[in-house]
Amino acid sequence: MERIREPVDQATIDARLEAERKFEEDEETTVWAFIWTLFAFKLATGIAIFWAAGWTKDAGEILGATHWFWLVLPAFAVMAPLTYQYRVRKVRRRRRQLEKAEWVIEPNPRVEHLA
């Protein structure tokens, strides 16, 4: 027995695409919440260990040696969007300069005395 497919209208397709996009956004939000929660607990644990060790230099060195990458990884995670925004702003500023140089005619002092 052959199954007959009914035509799907554009509204149904749009609704399915929107639902899929929303699901992907929710997944991404969930993953980042989980990662930042892990980071917060790791940081709190490090502070609690440092406090329990009496805030000594030796405890700080050991914690620094065992926790350094937990500080470097979030730094990269924060720097990536900041670097992207810096680059976008730099490119846009350069684009405005090029557009201005192309379309704005500034008065030429050598020609003005002829008028």
Residues 78-110 have pLDDT tens digits of 788 899 999 999 999 999 988 888 877 776 666
Structural domains of the chain, count: 1
The pTM of this model reads 0.46
In which domain, by residue range, is 43 found?
10-103
90: CB partners within 8 A, 6+ apart: none
Q: Does residue 110 sit within a domain?
A: no
Q: Does residue 113 sit within a domain?
A: no
Q: Does residue 1 sit within a domain?
A: no
Q: Does residue 111 sit within a domain?
A: no
Q: How far apart are the first and last CA of the chain?
A: 89
